[in-house]
Chain A
Amino acid sequence: MKQYLLSVVEPSTGEPPSAEEMAKIIARVEELDRAVKDAGVWVFNGGLHPPGTATTLRPKGDDVLISDGPYAEGKEHLGGFLILQCEDLDEALSWARRAVAATSLPIEVRPFR
């Protein structure tokens, strides 16, 4: 068994979905959460506040520098994630496929060491 990180790749610019669309997406994501738990593959999941809420800490000599904002401004950012315990990549990819359908967003699948 391996663990996989499924990252939801959110666009940083452009129109956010309407409230009505958002409600549908949330309903689909909640349904997916239930499905991964029922299948016994769920380890952890979560949605994140926008990158503007982030705080970044960097090493500076022996000290640590704290700054307001994400470590890098990009066209996309991590919007949320799902950690699954799967038999192999094929199983992780089949869940990722459902996550794409639920969120209408790209999903990156990466194995844990």
Chain B
Amino acid sequence: MSRPVERVFREEYGRAVAVLVRSFGDIDLAEEAVQEAFAAALQSWPDGRPPPSPAGWIITTARNHAIDRLRRDAKRAQKHAEAELIYDVQQNEFDDRLRLIFTCCHPALARHAQVALTLRLLGGLTTPEIARALLVPEPTLAQRIVRAKSKIRDAGIPYRVPRDADLPERLSSVLAVVYLIFNEGYSASSGPGLVRDDLCAEAIRLGRLLRRLMPDEPEVTGLLALMLLAAARRPARVDEHGALVPLPEQDRGLWDRSLIDEGHRLVRACLRRNRPGPYQIQAAINAVHTDAPRARDTDWMQIVRLYDQLMAIAPAPVVELNRAVAVAELDGPDAGLRLIEGLSLQRYHVFHAVRADLLRRAGRAAEARAAYATAVELAGNEPERAFLSSRLSHLDVPSGMLEG
């Protein structure tokens, strides 16, 4: 594919598929028609340069392809008739993408199917690209997508924005999918690299789209802010040897100021709405971190307060663990250790890494060593293992926690 066509493909694929799904009610037909339209674009755009409205061109061409297909298929005469209804692309395409997002993230689909469908239909990633990004064998991923599409068709999962009564639950499923895509990129659960930038970028792109589609949902804004503030620290998070650099030791000059400014702006916009939720509070915690010029300037009191708020609305052992890290900064490692005793996070490497760090700072070297060893054993990716192993072999190095 030529570069301009490729760019239009990434930007407009989801939009075009959404419009076509809406018109024809058939995901496979929509995808096929949009792919044919891009193939036609390669042929007809002079020098590979897109026309003034590439999306309009792609959607119109795809629609014509789809209608041709249906004409050849008498059984679908009914759908054909429906698709002939005049349809205002400009006015409705926002709604179309919103519908499609809710379909892809429908709670009747398994989470891994939601993720794959969202990347495929809204992100415009190909099956091999998604398989590579998620480190899943390609046939497995292809099968997940086929199965999910069949379920959408056979079980009658609708293409529409949920009713108000269902919206909070359904929206949280959409946000969870986008955040999972981001996290899979930001802290790769397995493999040689710590960060897979393509997935982070895709999640942020989806986050921006969601914000345009649902500007009045503060949690949507909160999620975008959270992802931007984490992505801003990305350049400082891995050193030149590919090892993880924990937050207190990062070179803050490497942080992306424009992403931080945008993130802070969004956090303030959320706070003004005064409808706090888990993503907004996590974004606010990240805003406090990124507000501090040096690690020792961090307003830990404020961070503990935000974790208290998070525990009140979304209690979870992981939140308790992070809160304990902040408390340890204020009241010392023993206070932190008391809070994490008995948390049911035995399989989570970060739990053991945090515990090891607190034990080390409390001067309990032998116990710290055992905890680091457990953390190394459980860590999924090389940079984290490398970082933890070096902590283990230099039990006297300066303090640091495993929060990038």
Neighbouring A residues of B163 by C-beta, 8 Å: 90
Q: Is the C-beta of B155 less than 8 angstroms from some C-beta in chain A?
A: yes
Q: Choose one: A88, A110, A111; the contact of B158 (CB below 8 Å).
A: A88
Q: Choose one: B106, B155, B160, B162; the contact of A111 (CB below 8 Å).
A: B155
Number of B residues whose C-beta is below 8 Å from A? 11
Q: Give A83 Cβ to nearest chain B Cβ, in Å.
A: 14
Are B158 and A90 in contact (CB-based, < 8 A)? yes
Neighbouring B residues of A111 by C-beta, 8 Å: 154-156
Q: Is the C-beta of A93 less than 8 angstroms from some C-beta in chain B?
A: yes
Q: Is the C-beta of A87 less than 8 angstroms from some C-beta in chain B?
A: yes
Interface of B is mostly: loop
Cα–Cα, bound, A88→B151 (Å): 12
Place the interface of chain A in its size category: 10 to 19
Q: Is the C-beta of A2 less than 8 angstroms from some C-beta in chain B?
A: yes
Are B108 and A88 in contact (CB-based, < 8 A)? no
Q: Is the C-beta of A89 less than 8 angstroms from some C-beta in chain B?
A: yes
Are A90 and B166 in contact (CB-based, < 8 A)? yes
Cα–Cα, bound, A93→B106 (Å): 11
Q: Is the C-beta of B157 less than 8 angstroms from some C-beta in chain A?
A: yes
Neighbouring A residues of B155 by C-beta, 8 Å: 89, 109-111
Are B158 and A87 in contact (CB-based, < 8 A)? yes
Cα–Cα, bound, A92→B155 (Å): 10
Q: Can you list 7 contacts pairing A with B, beta carbon distance less than 8 Å?
A: A2-B156, A4-B156, A86-B156, A88-B157, A88-B158, A90-B163, A109-B155
B residues at A contact (CB < 8 Å): 106, 108, 154-158, 160, 162-163, 166
A residues at B contact (CB < 8 Å): 2, 4, 86-90, 92-94, 109-111, 113
